[in-house]
Amino acid sequence: MDDTLLMLPGPTSVAPRVLKAMSNNIVNHRSAIFGEIFTETTELMSEVFKTQNQSYLLTGSGTSAMEAAIANTIKPGEKILNVVGGKFGQRFMQIANSFGIDAQELAVEWGTAVTPEQVKIALENDEDIKAVTVVHNETSTGVAAPIEEIGKVMKNYDALYIVDTVSSLGGDRVDVDNYGIDICVTGSQKCLAAPPGLAAITLNDEAWKVIDNTDSNTYYLDMKKYKKSGAGTPPETPYTPSVSLIYALFEALKIIKEEGLENRVVRHETAAEASRNAVKALGLEIFPDEKVSSTTVTAVKMPENVTDAELRGTMRNKYKVELAGGQDHLKGNIFRIGHMGNISYKELAITFSALGMTLKGLGFDIDMGAGVAAVNESYL
Ligand code: PLP
208 and 286 share a domain? Answer: no
Q: Is the CB of 195 under 6 A from ligand 1?
A: no
341 and 239 share a domain? Answer: no
Q: Is the CB of 172 under 6 A from ligand 1?
A: no
Q: Is the CB of 166 under 6 A from ligand 1?
A: yes
**Is 360 in a helix, a strand, or coil?**
helix
Task: State the ipTM, two decimals.
Answer: 0.99
Of 200, 223, 258, at which residue does a domain stop? 258
Q: Is the CB of 164 under 6 A from ligand 1?
A: yes
Q: How far is the CA of 234 from the centre of ligand 1 (A)?
A: 31
Q: Is the CB of 277 under 6 A from ligand 1?
A: no
In 234-353, where do the E strands start and end? 297-301, 321-322, 324-325, 334-338
Contacts of 231 (CB under 8 A, 6+ apart): none
Q: pLDDT digits over 1-18, tens only?
A: 789 999 999 999 999 999
Atom of ligand 1 nearest to the CA of 199: 15
Atom of ligand 1 nearest to the CA of 168: 3
Q: Is the CB of 61 under 6 A from ligand 1?
A: yes
Asked whether the beta carbons of 45 and 58 are under 8 A apart, the reply is no
143 and 235 share a domain? Answer: yes
pLDDT of residue 377: 98
Asked whether the beta carbons of 301 and 285 are under 8 A apart, the reply is yes
Positive or negative: CA dihedral 96, 100, 102, 106: positive
In the chain, the percentage of residues whose pLDDT exceeds 90 is 99
pLDDT of residue 1: 78
198 and 291 share a domain? Answer: no
26 and 80 share a domain? Answer: yes
Instruction: List beta partners, residue 106.
Output: 83
Asked whether the beta carbons of 79 and 101 are under 8 A apart, the reply is yes
194 and 213 share a domain? Answer: yes
Q: Is the CB of 338 under 6 A from ligand 1?
A: no
CATH of the domain at 312: 3.90.1150.10
* 16-31: average pLDDT: 98
Q: Residues in the chain, how many?
A: 380
pLDDT of residue 343: 98
Q: How many CB atoms lie within 10 A of CB 28?
A: 11
Nearest-5° angle of CA 98, CA 120, CA 291?
95
Q: How far is the CA of 40 from the centre of ligand 1 (A)?
A: 25
Of 258, 287, 317, at which residue does a domain stop? 258
Q: Is the CB of 340 under 6 A from ligand 1?
A: no
Q: Is the CB of 241 under 6 A from ligand 1?
A: no
Q: pLDDT digits over 69-106, tens only?
A: 999 999 999 999 999 999 999 999 999 999 999 999 99
The pick from 63, 135, 201, 327 for probing ligand 1's pocket by mutation, whose C-beta has the most ligand atoms within 8 angstroms, reads 63
Asked whether the beta carbons of 180 and 53 are under 8 A apart, the reply is no
Q: How far is the CA of 235 from the centre of ligand 1 (A)?
A: 27
Query: Could you tell me how far CA 129 lies from the centroid of its own chain?
Result: 25
Give me the domain span that covers residue 343.
5-9+260-379
d(CA 122, CA 103): 13
Number of structural domains the chain divides into: 2
25 and 138 share a domain? Answer: yes
* 202-210: average pLDDT: 98
Q: pLDDT digits over 241-261, tens only?
A: 999 999 999 999 999 999 999
CATH of the domain at 66: 3.40.640.10
Look up residue 125 and give its amino acid.
Answer: N
140 and 265 share a domain? Answer: no
Burial status of residue 102 (CB atoms within 10 A of its CB: 0-12, 13-18, 19 or more): middle
189 and 303 share a domain? Answer: no
300 and 219 share a domain? Answer: no
Of 228, 258, 288, at which residue does a domain stop? 258
Q: pLDDT digits over 327-340, tens only?
A: 999 999 999 999 99
Asked whether the beta carbons of 340 and 268 are under 8 A apart, the reply is yes
Q: How far is the CA of 188 from the centre of ligand 1 (A)?
A: 10
Q: Read off the DSSP letter of residue 58.
A: E
The pick from 110, 167, 185, 192 for probing ligand 1's pocket by mutation, whose C-beta has the most ligand atoms within 8 angstroms, reads 167
pLDDT of residue 309: 98
d(CA 110, CA 87): 9
35 and 72 share a domain? Answer: yes
Q: How many CB atoms lie within 10 A of CB 254?
A: 16
d(CA 63, CA 312): 26
Contacts of 112 (CB under 8 A, 6+ apart): 85, 143, 288, 289, 292
Asked whether the beta carbons of 247 and 348 are under 8 A apart, the reply is no
Q: Dmax over Cα atoms in the chain, in whole Å?
A: 66
Q: How far is the CA of 231 from the centre of ligand 1 (A)?
A: 28
pLDDT of residue 349: 98
Q: How does residue 292 score in pLDDT terms, banded at 50, 70 and 90?
A: very high
pLDDT of residue 78: 98
CA nearest neighbour of 349 among 314, 319, 328:
319
Q: How far is the CA of 100 from the centre of ligand 1 (A)?
A: 22
**Is 335 in a helix, a strand, or coil?**
strand
Mean pLDDT score of the chain: 98
Atom of ligand 1 nearest to the CA of 187: 15
Q: Is the CB of 63 under 6 A from ligand 1?
A: yes
Instruction: List beta partners, residue 336.
Output: 299, 324
In 194-348, where do the E strands start and end? 198-203, 297-301, 321-322, 324-325, 334-338
pLDDT of residue 2: 87
Q: Is the CB of 90 under 6 A from ligand 1?
A: no
Q: Mark 303-325 as b/e (b = at least 16 C-beta within 10 Å).
A: beebebeebbebbbeebebbbbb
Q: pLDDT digits over 337-358, tens only?
A: 999 999 999 999 999 999 999 9
* 198-202: average pLDDT: 98
Q: Is the CB of 168 under 6 A from ligand 1?
A: no
Q: How far is the CA of 167 from the centre of ligand 1 (A)?
A: 7
288 and 338 share a domain? Answer: yes
Positive or negative: CA dihedral 7, 85, 120, 203: negative
